[in-house]
Amino acid sequence: MIKESQRDSFGTDVIMHVKADAEGEDYSEFLETERLRELVEKYSDYIRWPIHMTVDESEWKETGEKDEKGNPKKDYVTTKVDKVVNSMVPIWKKSKEEADDEKCFQFYQDKFHDYEKPISVIRVNVEGAVTYRAMLFIPSKAPYDFYTRDFQPGLQLYSNGVLIMDKCSDLVPYCFRFVRGVVDSPDFSLNISREVLQHDSQLKAVGSNLTKQVKKELERLMKDEPEKYQQFYGSFGRQLKYGCVDQYGRDADLLKDLIMFGSAKEGKLISLADYVKGMPEGQKKIYYVSADTVEHAKELPQAEPVLAKGYDVLAFTDEIDSFVANVLREYQEKEFCNVTNEDLGLETDEEKKAAEKKDEEFKELTDFAKQTLGDGVAAVKISHKLKNHAVLLTTQGSITFEVEKYFREMPGAAGDGVKAARVLELNSESDAFKALNEAFKTDKDRAAKIVKVMYGQACLMAGQPLDDPVAYSDLVLSML
């Protein structure tokens, strides 16, 4: 209904009536001053016009009277004042001179409730087919629930300063879900929904550019501020690795320059680019081994021939690492090589011929060892790799120790039956092998015991569990 009225000034009054409270519904909370103020600050803090509210402000005021000592009396007085409750100009619309990095960091900590300053801030200002501004932050530490299902990623989406989506997870890929920040554009619809977002070409263009900006900033940190990048990688490196293998390696090309692994030679984390850059002339592969730590990787007999050649070995200390190598397959045309079960490609033709001659010389002994161990191993052979260690446990086929461990740790019996085909390699130049060879000629029972001890030692050095630790312990003690 429209009717004539009079008012003291120009403008329009919009009067909203709130439903009465019902069972389970507390509508009257939206009549509370603090609740209204909270909603205005959350959703309309950055619109261009001032939003006034009548709010209560309390302070101590003198009453005009004095106490017994002659001091003025004060009362705690609450008055209603008209106050602008929105800031109107968002920080992401200010220049770097108006809002330096420290102010941006403070905004991040207040806005996203983080006690730690972020590693970096990324400012984006684009004009064109889609006009938008963005301010993105790379946190320094992962939230406590980051690697759980409860974590909710996403950027805040604004349209001309009006919040239209609190956590938009589709603007940056899953691998960059640690990024926090805001994106503001006059071209965004106030009625945008997640379904619309997934099919909006403009928003896809925005997301593609933001993804490039995040990668560019991470590459800059890696190159110019390596200490900061190491700090970031300590919190989110695993997330980048998961991103490499997620969706059948869809984002592997995006992330391969950002991931790092421990270097057995340098004793620190290095990128794949650094590894390839440091490769000596003639090295054709990127060698890696799964280990608990970098120091452990250096001590493993599997890494011995590679390190002896002067080549570096990457230590894969996370269970996801070997899957990353399988997805990438190569980096800068250098194939990944697992020193545990693949041909290292280090032998010359002369060395291969000498190895074949030794295999033939000790064939009866290796056949005896295989018969002694039975189905515990797929093969026993003379090692062409070992120099200092007496034994080495490797695998053959597509199932490696890492794959076996992954399935072994799955809940229930899901991983039962997944087992790597073990190969026991013996160093024919070691004292242990010479003792075995002598016993094989004179005392087959003792030779069988030595084979079992050597196999147990190889399992321990490879980080593999013994089938029967008690029986192995009794066997060792019986030989003392």
Please list, in sequence order, all residues whose beta carbon lies within 8 angstroms of the beta carbon of residue 271, skipping any fewer than 6 positions away: 222, 257, 258, 259, 260
Q: CA distances (Å), 104 to each of 46, 90, 110, 144, 266, in order? A: 15, 11, 10, 23, 37
Count of all residues that appear for the chain in the document: 480
Question: Inter-axis angle of helices 226-245 and 321-328, to 10 degrees?
Answer: 70
Give residue 276's pLDDT. 95
Using one digit for the tens of pLDDT, what is the confidence trace for 373-401?
Answer: 998 898 998 887 777 888 988 888 878 88
Using one digit for the tens of pLDDT, what is the confidence trace for 36-52?
Answer: 888 887 778 777 788 88
Q: Is residue 199 pLDDT above 80, yes or no? A: no
Give residue 67's pLDDT. 76
Over residues 93-105, the mean pLDDT reads 89
Give residue 93's pLDDT. 87
Give residue 116's pLDDT. 92
Q: Is residue 352 pLDDT above 80, yes or no? A: no
Using one digit for the tens of pLDDT, what is the confidence trace for 421-459?
Answer: 889 989 888 899 999 999 988 999 999 999 999 999 988
- Please, where in the chain does CATH 1.20.120.790 lie? 347-480
Up-side HSE of residue 283: CA atoms within 13 Å toward CB?
22
The β-bridge partners of 347 are none
Using one digit for the tens of pLDDT, what is the confidence trace for 320-346?
Answer: 998 999 999 999 999 999 988 767 877
The string of DSSP letters for 110-151 reads: HHHT-SSPPSEEEEEEE-SSS-EEEEEEE-SS--TTTTSTT-
- Cα separation, 116 vs 105, in Å, equals 9
CATH of domain 259-345: 3.40.50.11260
- Please, where in the chain does CATH 3.40.50.11260 lie? 259-345
The class that CATH gives domain 347-480 is mainly alpha
Q: Which CATH number fits domain 91-230: 3.30.230.10, 3.40.50.300, 3.55.50.30, 3.30.230.80?
A: 3.30.230.80
Using one digit for the tens of pLDDT, what is the confidence trace for 311-321?
Answer: 999 999 998 99
Query: In percent, how much of the chain has pLDDT > 90?
Result: 35
- Cα separation, 155 vs 277, in Å, equals 37
Give residue 25's pLDDT. 86
Give residue 252's pLDDT. 94
Beta strands in 194-241 (DSSP E): none
Over residues 367-372, the mean pLDDT reads 91
Query: In percent, how much of the chain has pLDDT > 70?
Result: 96
Give residue 132's pLDDT. 92
Q: Is residue 292 pLDDT above 80, yes or no? A: yes
Give residue 253's pLDDT. 94
Give residue 194's pLDDT. 58
Over residues 83-100, the mean pLDDT reads 85
User: How does the average pLDDT of the chain come out, rounded?
Assistant: 87
Using one digit for the tens of pLDDT, what is the confidence trace for 213-269?
Answer: 999 999 999 999 999 999 999 999 999 999 999 988 899 999 999 999 999 999 999
Give residue 176's pLDDT. 95
Q: Is residue 412 pLDDT above 70, yes or no? A: no
Sign (positive or negative) of CA dihedral 355, 361, 362, 364: positive
Q: Is residue 370 pLDDT above 70, yes or no? A: yes
Structure tokens at 390: 């007496």
User: Closest Cα partner for 172 from 131, 214, 200?
Assistant: 214
SS (H, E, C) 45-103: CCCCCCCEEEEEEEEEEEEEEECCCCCEEEEEEEEEEEEECCCCCCHHHCCCCCCCHHH
User: Closest Cα partner for 59 from 71, 77, 37?
Assistant: 77
Give residue 297's pLDDT. 87
Q: Is residue 408 pLDDT above 80, yes or no? A: no
Give residue 273's pLDDT. 95
- Cα separation, 455 vs 436, in Å, equals 12
Give residue 415's pLDDT. 57
